[in-house]
Amino acid sequence: MYNTNKTVERIKLVAKQKNLKISDMLNACEINKNALWSMKSRGSWLHANNLAKIADYLDCSVDYLLGRTDDPNLHKK
């Protein structure tokens, strides 16, 4: 199954690579500022539409964030 910690780490990695602040991303996506903390510490999942908002903001695929592929640009092909 999917790993919430891996998803959070990938979100942070892509944001860092693009020089984006997590707080700015969450605000722009209208997601609670504690959402990633809940994912990492409690194993809680975001709603699919929120994960899609993050992927769109980061310009990567949901599949990449979920760890289903190592290609962050899969959706661009």
Q: Which pLDDT score is estimated for 71? A: 87
- How do the pLDDT tens digits run along the chain, 77 residues long? 789 999 999 999 999 999 999 999 999 999 999 999 999 899 889 999 999 999 999 999 999 999 999 888 876 55
Q: Which pLDDT score is estimated for 11? A: 97
Reference 64, options 26, 77, 42, 40; nearest CA is 77
Q: Kindly state the tokens that stand for 44.
A: 């809680």
pTM: 0.90
46, part of any domain:
yes
Q: What are phi and psi of 65, to 5 degrees?
A: -60, -35
Report the half-sphere exposure of 2 (CA within 13 A, side-chain side). Answer: 19
Instruction: Provide the domain limits for residue 31.
Output: 4-66
SS3 18: coil
44, part of any domain:
yes
Q: Which pLDDT score is estimated for 19? A: 98
56, part of any domain:
yes
17, part of any domain:
yes
55, part of any domain:
yes
Q: Which pLDDT score is estimated for 17? A: 96
What is the total count of domains within the chain?
1
71, part of any domain:
no
> Residue 30 maps to which CATH number?
1.10.260.40
